[in-house]
Structure 1
């Protein structure tokens, strides 16, 4: 599996891209949960990227269901987006 940052424990800012390493498995569903277990996103259709730009910074949990009935769980660290103002330099 690959993500935008290749490792889910590295901070992510806006998008997560998913790809399974094994050709025999396809992703059937992806869900993202907050720290309390509340499901924030559930995607059943084809997708390439998951937009998490509206999420607050913090820790989230990614659950990936495959067509072969495998369930993969990963942690996501959402980091805040830093906007630099050129007038402060």
Structure 2
């Protein structure tokens, strides 16, 4: 998990929020507006969190988007068993 997500795989509330936002953003085909509606957030908040997730990860999402999507799903389904501790 940490190979794909890097520090984004840390098991804490802040990183969980970033992972969830990124997962929904990718699930909506990269639509900030649709992700914002699903998450009950402002579009700018989604944009900020996606940028922050890329910053925390240390690299852009697009070059290995499928791997990131699979890793985010694994985090959602398997929870703490696949997350890193601080």
TM-score range, shorter chain: under 0.3
The structure number with the bigger radius of gyration is 1
- Normalized per residue, which structure has more helix? 2
Taking structure 1 as the reference length, the TM-score comes to 0.25
Higher RCO by CA contacts (8 Å cutoff, separation 6 or greater): 2
- Normalized per residue, which structure has more strand? 1
